[in-house]
Amino acid sequence: MLENLRLVLSQHKKFLAIFFVVIFLPSVILAFFGIRAIHNERYKLLQQNLDQQKQFVRLVQAGIRSLIERDSLSLKELSSSKAIFDQGYRAFSNLISQRLQDESLFGQIVIWNYNHPPWFLGLQPCPPAAKTLVVPEEWRKWQPDLEKAERAEFRRRNLSEAVTLYNQILRRAEDNQVKAWILSRVGRCEVKQKKFEQALIIYRSILAGFPDLLTESGRPLSLISSLEMLDALRSDKNYDDFFQESLETYNQLAENVWSLDGYQLKLYTTMLKNMIDEVTAEDSSNGIPAEYGAAVDSMQGLIDKKLELWRMAEAVRHNIFPSIKEKPENLSSDSPQVQKSSFEFEGANNRFEKSR
């Protein structure tokens, strides 16, 4: 069989040579160049995509650089504001609201010096140290009378006598802070006696007459009085007024009219929400307003967003401020400068700028 194959091949050498030269070899060459052309085309497409990606990155970098430069310029201008040097915080807050309310910079500005806690203007209307508790001298004057009233209230549980003694001090008091604190004690005693209507009159008089004062423990008096009033309305099963007043208090918390920090905002919101949940559970078959639940959820959503910002603010406080304090720079007062830092916050890289 092999002999026959050799005989056939020897007889057709010319044909095989022609086949190899005319058909096989050109086919191999065309295939080689075709594969190479496909490879080149793929390379060109990859290179084109890479160039487009590089161009996109350059555009993003340019945009970020422009944003940083614009924000840095705004920080420099604001840090030179006369309101800052005069400590006219209300004027400075108004300046920011007017100029930057549509910019990303609004709500990110922090005013801080080494001797005071930082003030995050987008979260607190007033500086943290703007309201400090000062005990009036007149309060010390009434200590003997206060001790008698406290013994009647807490030791002997004689609430009528306690109210009488507190009212005697109230009639002679002159300082508004003293009057407000005594009224709070009277309201507390009236609630204990289940005289809810009288307690509500007292709490409303505190809200109307002493809106900007602090409690004996340094908390916002109007906020605490609002919560006490809501508790009295709940105990009296006056649900209609409770629903109305609770929405008003919720709205004030969402707007942070009391300039609370993040921990305080969460604490008082939780207290109010728990109270609302208890009332709606008690009154589930009665007259809960149709839009009440949706309104509560909406305001709670606003507060949750603000609490997220407070968590970021705390991260800035703990990650950025210590390093700034440890490494003071020689910065001239007439030429504000901007420091740029970044830190890791919940898996995301965040940029922080400080103007001095």
* pLDDT tens, residue by residue, 112-164: 777 777 888 778 878 876 667 889 999 999 999 999 999 999 999 999 999 99
Please tell me whether the overall predicted TM-score, pTM, comes out greater than 0.75 for this model.
no
pLDDT of residue 145: 94
* pLDDT tens, residue by residue, 19-52: 666 666 667 676 666 677 777 777 777 777 777 7
pLDDT of residue 319: 79
From CA 200, how far away is CA 229, in angstroms rounded?
Answer: 6
Helices and strands (H, E) in the chain, number of each type: 15, 4
Statement to judge: residues 211 and 105 lie in one domain: no
Which range has the worst mean pLDDT, 3-12, 45-54, 296-305?
Answer: 3-12
Residue 214 lies in a domain: yes
Residue 344 lies in a domain: no
Domain holding 143: CATH number?
1.25.40
Task: Confirm if 230 and 242 have CB atoms less than 8 A apart.
Answer: yes
User: Domain residues for 264?
Assistant: 137-319
pLDDT of residue 50: 77
Give the residue from 108, 127, 146 where a domain finishes: 127
Residue of higher predicted confidence among 314 and 195: 195
Residue of higher predicted confidence among 2 and 49: 49
Residue of higher predicted confidence among 179 and 98: 179
Task: Show the tokens assigned to 62.
Answer: 């340019």
pLDDT of residue 248: 95
pLDDT of residue 338: 58
Is the model's pLDDT at 353 over the cut of 50? no
Statement to judge: residues 67 and 89 lie in one domain: no
* pLDDT tens, residue by residue, 213-269: 999 999 999 999 999 999 999 999 999 999 999 999 999 999 899 999 999 999 999
Residue 8 lies in a domain: no
pLDDT of residue 64: 66
Residue of higher predicted confidence among 75 and 50: 50
Statement to judge: residues 193 and 93 lie in one domain: no
Paired with 120 in beta bridges are 110
Statement to judge: residues 168 and 106 lie in one domain: no
Count of the separate structural domains present in the chain = 3
Phi first, then psi: what are they for 175, rounded to 5°?
-80, 135
Residue 349 lies in a domain: no
pLDDT of residue 327: 58
pLDDT of residue 106: 45
Residue 169 lies in a domain: yes
Sign of the dihedral defined by the CA atoms of residues 212, 217, 223, 228, in that order: negative
Q: Write the CB contacts of 214 (distance below 8 Å, at least 6 apart in sequence).
A: 131, 133, 177, 220, 221
Q: Write the CB contacts of 349 (distance below 8 Å, at least 6 apart in sequence).
A: 342, 343
Task: Show the tokens assigned to 229.
Answer: 């009033």
According to the per-residue pLDDT averaged within each range, which of 87-101, 265-279, 305-319 is highest?
Answer: 265-279
Statement to judge: residues 186 and 94 lie in one domain: no
Statement to judge: residues 67 and 84 lie in one domain: no
Residue 156 lies in a domain: yes
Statement to judge: residues 298 and 209 lie in one domain: yes
Residue 117 lies in a domain: yes
Statement to judge: residues 190 and 311 lie in one domain: yes
Statement to judge: residues 101 and 149 lie in one domain: no
pLDDT of residue 41: 75
Statement to judge: residues 89 and 195 lie in one domain: no
Which range has the worst mean pLDDT, 162-171, 205-214, 343-352?
Answer: 343-352
Task: Confirm if 67 and 104 have CB atoms less than 8 A apart.
Answer: yes
pLDDT of residue 269: 96
From CA 254, how far away is CA 113, in angstroms rounded?
Answer: 27
Statement to judge: residues 197 and 303 lie in one domain: yes
In terms of Cβ atoms closer than 10 Å to its own Cβ (0-12, 13-18, 19+), residue 191 is buried
pLDDT of residue 118: 81
Residue 342 lies in a domain: no
Statement to judge: residues 122 and 168 lie in one domain: no
